[in-house]
Amino acid sequence: MKHDQMSMDIDPPIKESHVTAENWRKALHKVVPAVVVLRTTACRAFDTESAGSSYATGFVVDKRRGIILTNRHVVKPGPVTAEAMFVNREEIPVYPIYRDPVHDFGFFRYDPAAIQFLSYEEIPLAPQAACVGLEIRVVGNDSGEKISILAGTLARLDRDAPHYKKDGYNDFNTFYMQAASGTRGGSSGSPVIDWQGRAVALNAGCNSSSASAFFLPLERVVRALNFLQKGKDSCQDNWEAVTIPRGTIQATFVHKGFEETRRLGLQSETEQLVRHASPLSETGMLVVDSVVPGGPAYNQLEPGDVLVCMNGEVVTQFLKMETLLDDSVGQNVKLEFERGGTSLTVQLVVEDLHSITPNYYLEVSGAVIHPLSYQQARSFRFHCGLVYVSEPGYMLYRARVPRHAIIKRLANEDISNLEDFINVLSKLSRGARVPLEYIHYKERHRTKSVLITMDRHEWYASPRIYSRDDSSGIWIGKPALRTNSQFISSGIIQLANGVAGTDISTSERVQENACADGVVTADVEDSASPGDTVAIDDHDTSADSSNASVAERVIEPALVRLEVYVPSSCMVDGVYAQHYSGTGVIIFHSEDMGLVAVDKNTVVISASDVMLSFAAFSIEIPGEVVFLHPVHNFAIISYDPSALGPAGHSVVRAAKLLPEPALRRGESVYLVGLSRSLQATSRKSVVTNPFSDLKISSADSPRYRATNMEVIKIDTDFGSSFSGVLTDEHGRVKALWASFATQVKYGSNSYEDQLVRGIPIHSISQVLNKLVSGGKGPSLLINGIKRPMPLVRALEVEFSCTLLSKARSFGLSNNWIQALVKKDPIRRQVLRVKGCLAGSKAENLLEQGDMVLAVNKKPVTCFNDLEDACHALDMHDDMDAKLELTIFRQGHEMVVRVGTDIRDGNGTTRVISWCGCFVQDPHPAVRALGFLPQEGHDVYVARWSSGSPVHRYGLYAHQWIVEVNGKPTPDLDAFVNVTKEIEDGEFVRVRTVDLNGKPRVLTLKQDLHYWPTWELRFDPETATWHRKTIKSLETGDSL
């Protein structure tokens, strides 16, 4: 007998009472070696599945050809990498060769020669052996256990296909089996075996609340396997893509009992005809449940139609219906059915099911976009083939386009398929803003219109098309746009007025419109113009400001609303969100440069896209992060004043800053800010504490945390989400009312929160003076002009404030207490070392608990005293100048000379992606923990990507990579040099050290196909972020 036929043989039935424990032991002894644990990694979100890594089960159904059967949701509809581990822990790569478009089964292939140390046999498939009451065993990777054996009894063979979720995968047009075996996650794809070791069904899902498991019948599986076996035999050496005919009329049927069909209007004569032509066990008929718009059955069949015959044959079972459809692809089928008691007949064309199952996708700005699949079209009731957003990525996320959206128009052009979308995309330049219209299944009758912004910086690779190759099991990528397309060829062009663009500048357009009738306007098409300028309109605040205070009217023209977006490819420095918003204040405004001050809970990192909306003039323009204070909670953003146009430039102005005198307790101030609708809001308040010690605990993920700051408290404000400025009665700014990121913890749980406090304008004014007059740091291109940037000298030590009464208990002498009281009779405190930043010049000189009494023999009582001492060192050109600190340590007074650290305001300017993890230099929040590995500390894992190799093998964030394949990686350059030598598919040995100093060694397989190594770096010469491929399959070494 041929090998192919042996897998289908079914032994003569025997009585269940004869089955013994020994029979089961022998069956399981034969079955278990053929069951494998599958570790699958969905590299991209696609169709019904999200990107991620998971465990599942499969089993060998053809040993000679190397075929493993599992579920469709394990094989995945999109890009996937997978390994199979046998019971003896031999691990081999497996590649998808087929996933059914509808039913929950698929196949992987493997090289049988790769299994060298295990004796195993394939598991035969016996779908006919399934029957109610059959005792079964489910053998698989249940709940993460490598091999688990669960017992059960088949209770039903005609269960409806399980419904998992609205926007995910669901099987249909088939029966399922049911048993109370209580399987859990990881058991998907497990064989359901009888006592003879034959698979009678395929485990697919479960109902955890009722401990019920759902099994897929194997009839269609056997058919598909036969096609694969014949296809493999025809090509001998290599696997070639095998076509398995699958037909559809794009209609979903459900099986209803005869009682229900009668209520639907089934005639008694028809029922008798069906009963006569069907087995005695038949209990009902197939009824139309839904029809996909635009499909062959659309406007022909309706929900509630009762199917009687197909091509002249009575059809009451899914299996027979699907057999007829699969055998009639591209042909007509004749359907006879009843609708409300009326007999009808239609001829429908059977469509190729694979033709409406997407096998390619577009990746642009982190988004995954592909034709809408039959699966999702059925769930959402849309036409197949529409442009479907499987993953919004960054560009679409900025515009609030959600997952599962259907794109209908882009840049005022209709979009009916993915080719239309790519064609329009190729005409757009970087930085352009264009309208996009989409619909969503949750609000299907409402079309939403948004503005999307083409990435101005090279946050992501150029758009690419990936197509499925069933021969190799991978998805092959190629550029989606021609090299001469507008999107590829255009960079951020610096025009004469500094506005990014490719045609006339925004200011020129505004000037033309303003000359017409004195009203500056722009329609939606103009909003797509370069420079990201939208919604230009005069803003007359006289009508709604009649009741406003003088302070509000004076400061309103200087207020700005900021919308800040962080690309997922650059979420470094512990950033926990991609969107931030807040109010800033214009602190400088001239012909060639505008500067806005804002808190760092609004502008978190420099790798951001910033949009500015002005209170005095309705316009939205881009800004650039030019300075992030390394210590204080503020950032400075630049904008191009010419983008405002003459009308806007005339009404927008900088605030007047009043750093002296400092605010005092009981002094009246005005809190002024902007609502989300850009309406100025103010409230008179009283300062309750002008120098409150700010205490913010560390977050779970190290990120910027304001330290060594005295902040201002007032008696009334507008809540923790309202930011703005504190002014005097004349509208002069005394402080920035800033938002501070915090984290609230309840036991083991934590959630993000924020608080608002005032930052004295003095520190902002100091930086502004250096920035305008020219600092001592490297130059940065701002609006086409290179400007030397300021540097900040700081003592990288975190201090806390201790009351003098407590300091006395620690042994501090009365003389020092009197001296400190004389210096500052209000605060009555001493600064105490809480910790030094790792790698700082103070690290090995100051200890936790040291009290700092004086700097350069002058008593100090507050953080400002230390800052003033550091600023005094800037008067000299000695970059290594030191501070002479008088400290009190463990009962002894001593003098220590401590060096200061000089930092710029650039923040993190380099990030490298390797195998899906993002590495960077450790940012200050990490160093503030007080530990850096001795082996090397400049390769810090900031975050990781779902579906990547590091996700698959567990190389997560918040640790340092100190070795790769035994070679030290002390810094990013060394890391790049080492990883460049590693080829695709090679296993890599990585040594890491976590934040607690615990070392770990792990291995992972490099995947350059889906996860090339690349670098993002900020170029101050052009003020842009550039992406460069370090190593990929296509380019080899690019650096």
Rounded CA-CA distance 563/614 in Å is 12
Active site residue 104: yes
H/E stretch holding 319 reads helix 318-326
Burial 648-666 (b: 16+ CB within 10 A, else e): bbebbebbebbbeebbeee
Choice among 104, 728, 901, 1007 that is catalytic? 104
Identify the bridge partners of residue 462 per DSSP, sorted by sequence position.
none
Choice among 47, 73, 328, 913 that is catalytic? 73
Neighbours of 577 (CB within 10 A): 12
Active site residue 73: yes
Rounded CA-CA distance 499/504 in Å is 10
Selection from 276, 275, 266 nearest residue 336 by Cα: 266
Please, are residues 486 and 391 in contact by the beta-carbon 8 Å criterion?
A: no
Identify the bridge partners of residue 438 per DSSP, sorted by sequence position.
407, 448
Q: Using DSSP bridges, classify how beta strands 1013-1019 and 579-589 pair: parallel, antiparallel or unpaired.
A: unpaired
What angle separates helix 318-326 from helix 219-235, to the nearest 10 degrees?
Answer: 30
Selection from 544, 683, 684 nearest residue 615 by Cα: 544
Active site residue 187: yes
Q: What is the DSSP string of 953-1010?
A: HT--SSEEEEEETTEE--SHHHHHHHHTTPPTT-EEEEEEEETTS-EEEEEEE--TTT
Choice among 187, 190, 328, 569 that is catalytic? 187
Measured in degrees and rounded to the nearest 5, phi and psi for residue 874 equal: -70, -15
Residue 200 three-state SS: strand
Torsion, CA 489, CA 491, CA 497, CA 499, rounded to 10: 110
H/E stretch holding 283 reads none
Q: What distance separates the 2 farthest-apart alpha carbons in the chain?
A: 112
Neighbours of 405 (CB within 10 A): 23
Rounded CA-CA distance 1005/627 in Å is 39
Q: What is the DSSP string of 346-412?
A: EEEEPEEGGGGS--EEEEETTEEEEEPPHHHHHHHT--TT-EEEEE-TTHHHHTTPPTT-EEEEETT
Q: How many Å from the N-terminal Cα to the C-terminal Cα in the chain?
A: 59
> 3-state SS string over 763-789?
HHHHHHHHHHHCCCCCEEEECCEEEEC
Neighbours of 462 (CB within 10 A): 16
Please give the positions annotated as active site: 73, 104, 187
